[in-house]
Amino acid sequence: MTEKLTKDAVRRLSDAFGEPGWMTDRRLAAFDIFDKLELPDPKSEEWRYTDVRGFDLTRFAAPIPGASRPELPPDVEALGVIVTDLPGAVADHEDLLKEHFFTEVPVDEHKFTALHGAFHSDDIFVFVPRGVEVTVPIEVVRRLPAGGSAFPHTTIVVSGQASLTFVDRFASEDLLEPALCSSVVEVEAGPGATVNYISLQDWGRGAHHFQTQRFTGNRDATVRSLAVQLGASFARTQVESVLRGEGSFSEMLGLYFADTDQHFAQRTLQSHDAPHATSDLLYKGALKERARSEYSGLIRVARGAQGTDAYQANRNLVLSDEAMAHSIPQLEIQANEVRCTHGATVSPVEEEHLFYLMSRGIDRLTAQKLIVFGFFGEVLDRIRVPGVRSELSDAIARKVEGGRRLEVAV
């Protein structure tokens, strides 16, 4: 018999993990916050055009305790690198967990983060000691049962002068019953560290995906993120880069391709809290059939963050008359010696471009595929993991042709 998302289910989940009292107390406090909060209102800027007030959370079963299995490169443990699930982190690295777990994303940010705080499971904790370079990407695959829920939490701490690439995969077949994923990602890059984080969302139809990603860059740190949306019936991702250290750098890439009646929403934040930091954001999306998307992005420059250099661009390619894309770039600047630029476009495929290619013996589908690849090329060329770049190229081709599967080896 399945159990719903109740407070008793929170206690049983914590008991099943054998958690200490402080973790159970955190879960129960988060559930109380969840119980009091209303679903996000589209009147707020963060949820504009994304109305989830009718979303029924009572229909989903509570998560079943389990653990993802990260693909651990050989010999990294000998370097002091920690890659473990939640029970392992509690048992062997409790002090580190207390210091870094759920510290960057507020539990009460909205109803879905509070629900995550109560039911987080399938958690991964990664710690890279100072000066250690992890040269092979660490990968993990998440799962989602039909009618059920998943609350994966990713905590990554990369110490000063260290480096890491992490690939987070969210994959399932199409689901016979609706399912819910509410995910939180927290990444901290120490002074001079380099972190590459890639999120590949390819849930089956029937999935509803909510994710908050927050990246913190300390002095002279480099943080690169790639957020991919291909699957799910509905997906909302909030990606935030917080540049707390002078000289830090953030690259934020996004790629999304929605078809049929898929609905994708993206919210980004480039928060410049320190002087002489740089952020570069490029999000590109394609839509076909009756799909819709929203992008809302904010560059925020704090008082005293002089010398800020920030760039934000969102481009959308509309492949049918029924598809719809909204794009809302924003600036909030409290310093006077800055360079901040932003821009957004929503454009249909030009029939003239298709005709030009077809007049040279190329069929319409291949011509459309060439145009879409040319559109996404600027993002694909900046992906630093060749295997991921190749997978996404194949997935884009299948989307144009009428399929959607991102083939993930599991």
Q: How does pLDDT run across 256-311, given as a tens digit for each residue? A: 999 999 999 999 999 999 999 999 999 999 999 999 999 999 999 999 999 999 99
When pLDDT is averaged across residues 386-408 and rounded to a whole number, the result is 83
Range 337-366 average pLDDT: 86
pLDDT band at 59 (very low <50, low <70, confident <90, very high): very high
Q: Tell whether 389 is covered by a domain.
A: no
Average pLDDT of span 331-342: 95
pLDDT for position 171: 93
What is the extent of the structural domain holding 309?
7-350
Percent of the chain predicted with pLDDT > 90? 83
In a domain, 245, yes or no: yes
pLDDT given for residue 407 in this prediction: 47
Residue 386 within any structural domain of the chain = no
Q: What confidence score (pLDDT) does residue 333 get?
A: 96
Instruction: Tell which wins on pLDDT, 1 or 23.
Output: 23
pLDDT tens by residue, 228-237: 999 999 999 9
pLDDT of residue 112: 97
Which of 39-53, 82-96, 216-230 comes out lowest in average pLDDT? 39-53
- Asked, for residue 399, whether it belongs to a domain, the answer is no
Please state the pTM of the whole predicted model.
0.94
Q: Is residue 87 part of a domain?
A: yes
- Quote the mean pLDDT of the chain: 93
Q: Is the pLDDT of residue 404 over 60?
A: no
Write the secondary structure of the chain as one string of H (helix), E (strand) and C (coil): CCCECCHHHHHHHHHHHCCCHHHHHHHHHHHHHHHHCCCCCCCCHHHCCCCCCCCCHHHCECCCCCCCCCECCCCCHHHCCEEEEHHHHHHHCHHHHHHHCCCCCCCCCCHHHHHHHHHCCCCEEEEECCCCECCCCEEEEECCCCCCEECCEEEEEECCCCEEEEEEEEECCCCCCCEEEEEEEEEEECCCCEEEEEEEEECCCCEEEEEEEEEEECCCCEEEEEEEECCCCEEEEEEEEEECCCCCEEEEEEEEEECCCCEEEEEEEEEECCCCCEEEEEEEEEECCCCEEEEEEEEEECCCCCCCEEEEEEEEEECCCCCEEEEEEEEEECCCCCEEEEEEEEEECCHHHHHHHHCCCCCHHHHHHHHHHHHHHHHHCCCCCHHHHHHHHHHHHHHHHCCCCCCCCC
* 309 in any annotated domain: yes
Percent of the chain with pLDDT over 70: 97
- The reply to whether 315 falls in a domain is yes
Number of domains in the chain: 1
Residue 181 lies in a domain: yes
**What integer pLDDT is reported at residue 364 of this predicted model?**
82
| Residue pLDDT, tens place only, 90-137 | 999 999 999 999 999 999 999 999 999 999 999 999 999 999 999 999
